[in-house]
Amino acid sequence: MSKTTDKVEEHSFQAEMEQLLHLIIHSLYTHKEIFLRELVSNASDALHKIRYLGLTDKGFLDESAELRIDITLDEEKKQVTIKDTGIGMTHDEIIANIGTIAKSGTMKFLKELSEKKDDKQKSDLIGQFGVGFYSVFMVAQEVTINTRSFAKDEKAWQWKSEGTGKFTLEEIEKADRGTEIIIQLKEGEDEFASADSLKNIINKYSNFVDFPINIGEEHANKSSALWRKQASQVKEEERTEFYKFISHDMEDQLGHVHLNAEAPIAYSALLFFPAKSNNDIFQKPEDFHVHLYVKKVFIQNDCKDLLPSYLRFMRGVVDSEDLDLNVSREVTQHSPLLAKIRKALTGRILKEIEKWAEKDAKKFETFYTQFGNVIKEGIEVDYENRDRLVDLLRFQSTKTKQGETVSLAQYLERMKADQKEIYYLSGRNLDVLKNSPNLEYFTEKDIEVLLLDHVIDDYLMPVIAKYKEKDITSIDKAEVDSGVKDKDELDPVIVTSFIGRMKAVIGDEIEDIKESKRLLKSPCSLVSSKEAMNQQMEMMMKAMNPDFAGAKRILEVNLQHSLMKKIAGLYQKSPDSPEFTTSVKALYDSAKLLDDRLEDPSVLVSRLYDYMDSALPEPDKTSAPKVAEKEAKPAEKTEPKAAKEAPKKDSKDDAGKNKKK
């Protein structure tokens, strides 16, 4: 291999690239061996590409060369070389693929990498985000890439870098197609300069690569199409190993489905449920993880057409006997054959989840915690399987204990004979929900209410709308009547003017004030009007659009509550008195607080201080010694008390300030 010209091009890495390299070199210390997995996986990709090309194209370089990966070692020089007979790279491809952050995932990767504390998690990320090549700089002092493209009229090129700032590129002489990566190991990385340890790493991570990997003279990988075997013939360890190989997950899978179908369509599929989702609901729709093979030949990575999008978290392989080998992207997209496979796989995956729900509570719970959102997403889009998916939903409710959940079927089973609807209450925080005054009526009547605390839920329930003929209704909107009647009820005329005055005091932040028929213990509560958008939905809208004002709430007041009666008394005595207006405002702020909507609690708190201050007796200085005698530890106990009472003057001032606002 010699240089054809003296022309050495110097290039700088993109700023982000440099940042990435810096992080890799300076913050990753465990699992360094994954660099080999990444380079082998790139070699394998390059070989897949050339094999695929060979199906249609003719006349490229080294057409009949054996497709293989060779790893050689120079123990003296501490050099490892990984060579493949893959597709190779042209001058421009090197620049585009190595040294530039072209992929959208990379910035996300960088962000997550800098956020992750655990070193192992960091290494796991490398494989997942497709920035694999650069992991080589965990162990390399310098990396040299010699590569020649399959295209006959392209020249061969050498790329060199130490992983800091720059790389060089120059033309070289290289007769054969493919890529050769020479790693000059860093000092202290001698463990990778041994054939045995390289073999071990290949065994650990790269056993299922489709091409022979040779270390020296020895064939190091198994390369068998595991999915083609009968499920009963595959050992659990083999399956786990395969899962880790295709998913780059360091953890074992949660479960799998393995099918070998013959008629009407012949295909094999081995699909895995990961134990953890890295994905949130905002995951990009293009992130699929099932690869398509045709007659054991790899056709397409992350094929979108094998599963419905909500099942995109599944990992694995589908291998079809009936598709054409040179099937194109357009064909897979519209293929009725793939549509049939997709339908069968979906059914099979759901069946597996249903099996867990029925027989393996722990597994189901793990699945549900990680992928519950996926089920919810499915309900929205998969009309065919909606009923099955709805049956997989699990909820907290006013009757579930810590760690328990309830399904809609269970809810129906235990609900009262005369109950007409399924009730739910939704919000951001489960504890707040549990204490909502709006539950009082339902608690009193012993009616179970589902408590929904996830953003999607509020949007989802109206989509489901009914379960086995029963309407699913938010208690916010339920029309209920506790039937409790008070003997000394307020005169209806006074009620009307009292409510009108309260409304004037609170202003048009609320839609209306109504007399409540559901509150039993609380003086008041906020509810939404029948037509209003759900509260959670509103929050989602707000998150997307800060200017979104949202629907106004209705304040329900319990006129049988003694506090309301007292406020009504104040009103009757003097409707303009500060006592009256302050009480109404405090009442409203408290309702907002319970509704998880009070943005600034300081006004409410200073009012509370005022009330406490006026309600508590003046300190009796002469009695202080008595307390000291009685209390076991007078010093600790009385001092903090005194300290808390001391800023009384300040808090009054604060309250005064707030009142002025």
Interaction between residue 127 and Mg ion (CB under 5 A): no
Tokens 């060369």 found at: 65
Q: Which two tokens stand for residue 654?
A: 């604060």
Interaction between residue 86 and ligand ADP (CB under 6 A): yes
Residue 209 CB, shortest distance to Mg ion, in Å, is 12
- Interface with ligand ADP (CB under 6 A), residue from 21, 24, 36, 98: 98
Q: How far is CA 20 from CA 13, 26, 31, 32, in A?
A: 10, 10, 17, 16
- Interface with ligand ADP (CB under 6 A), residue from 21, 87, 294, 392: 87
Written as one letter, the residue type at 438 is N
Q: Which two tokens stand for residue 617?
A: 């007796």
Judged by beta carbon, residue 41 or residue 581, the one nearer ligand ADP is 41
Q: What SS3 class is residue 179?
A: strand
From ligand ADP, Mg ion, none, which one binds at residue 475 (CB under 5 to 8 Å depending on kind)? none
Closest residue by Cα to residue 188 from 421, 32, 45, 382: 32
Q: Confirm if 607 and 655 have CB atoms less than 8 A apart.
A: yes
Q: Which two tokens stand for residue 538?
A: 């509103």
Residue 54 CB, shortest distance to ligand ADP, in Å, is 16
Interaction between residue 36 and ligand ADP (CB under 6 A): no
User: How many positions of this chain bind Mg ion (CB under 5 A)?
Assistant: 2
- Interface with ligand ADP (CB under 6 A), residue from 13, 33, 84, 209: 84
- Interface with ligand ADP (CB under 6 A), residue from 21, 67, 110, 131: 131
Interaction between residue 634 and ligand ADP (CB under 6 A): no
Backbone angles phi, psi at 130, to 5 degrees: 65, 40
Site string for Mg ion, 21-60 (x = CB under 5 A): ---------------------x------------------
Interaction between residue 43 and ligand ADP (CB under 6 A): yes
Q: Is 614 left (phi over 0), alpha (psi -120 to 50) or beta?
A: alpha
Site string for ligand ADP, 249-268 (x = CB under 6 A): --------------------
Closest residue by Cα to residue 491 from 583, 569, 577: 569
- Interface with Mg ion (CB under 5 A), residue from 132, 178, 308, 437: 132
From ligand ADP, Mg ion, none, which one binds at residue 89 (CB under 5 to 8 Å depending on kind)? ligand ADP
Per CB under 6 A, which of residues 168..187 are in contact with ligand ADP?
179
Residue 181 CB, shortest distance to ligand ADP, in Å, is 7
Residue 611, Cα to own-chain centre: how many angstroms? 45
Looking at 87-95, 220-228, 317-325, 610-618, which segment touches ligand ADP (CB under 6 A)? 87-95
Residue 91 CB, shortest distance to ligand ADP, in Å, is 13
Interaction between residue 132 and ligand ADP (CB under 6 A): yes
What is the spatial distance between Cα 195 and Cα 200, in angstroms, rounded to a whole number?
9
Q: What SS3 class is residue 152?
A: coil
Per CB under 6 A, which of residues 447..506 are in contact with ligand ADP?
none
Order of strands, sheet of 553-557, starting from the edge strand that comes earlier in the sequence: 510-515, 553-557, 524-528
Judged by beta carbon, residue 42 or residue 184, the one nearer Mg ion is 42
DSSP, res 421: E
What is the spatial distance between Cα 525 and Cα 596, in angstroms, rounded to a whole number?
12
From Mg ion, ligand ADP, none, which one binds at residue 390 (CB under 5 to 8 Å depending on kind)? none
Interaction between residue 130 and ligand ADP (CB under 6 A): yes
What is the spatial distance between Cα 286 and Cα 315, in angstroms, rounded to a whole number?
14
DSSP, res 395: B
Interaction between residue 274 and ligand ADP (CB under 6 A): no
Nearest position to Mg ion, beta carbon: 132
Interaction between residue 437 and ligand ADP (CB under 6 A): no
| Largest Cα span, the chain | 108
Interaction between residue 42 and ligand ADP (CB under 6 A): yes
Q: Which two tokens stand for residue 253?
A: 């899978």
From ligand ADP, Mg ion, none, which one binds at residue 595 (CB under 5 to 8 Å depending on kind)? none
Judged by beta carbon, residue 182 or residue 439, the one nearer Mg ion is 182
What is the spatial distance between Cα 610 and Cα 628, in angstroms, rounded to a whole number?
28
Q: How far is CA 381 from CA 336, 375, 385, 490, in A?
A: 19, 10, 9, 52
Per CB under 6 A, which of residues 179..238 are in contact with ligand ADP?
179
Looking at 41-49, 158-166, 415-423, 633-641, which segment touches ligand ADP (CB under 6 A)? 41-49
Judged by beta carbon, residue 24 or residue 461, the one nearer ligand ADP is 24
Judged by beta carbon, residue 47 or residue 327, the one nearer Mg ion is 47
From ligand ADP, Mg ion, none, which one binds at residue 124 (CB under 5 to 8 Å depending on kind)? none
What is the spatial distance between Cα 39 and Cα 28, in angstroms, rounded to a whole number?
17
b/e string for 378-394 if b means 16 or more Cβ within 10 A?
Answer: bbeebeebeebbbebbb
What is the spatial distance between Cα 222 and Cα 532, in angstroms, rounded to a whole number?
61
Q: Confirm if 104 and 16 have CB atoms less than 8 A apart.
A: no
Q: How far is CA 532 from CA 419, 477, 500, 537, 552, in A?
A: 24, 9, 22, 10, 8
Residue 87 CB, shortest distance to ligand ADP, in Å, is 6
Written as one letter, the residue type at 106 is T
Looking at 35-43, 151-159, 197-205, 432-440, which segment touches ligand ADP (CB under 6 A)? 35-43
Interaction between residue 523 and Mg ion (CB under 5 A): no
List residues binding Mg ion (CB under 5 A): 42, 132
List residues binding ligand ADP (CB under 6 A): 38, 42-43, 45-46, 84, 86-89, 97-98, 130-133, 179
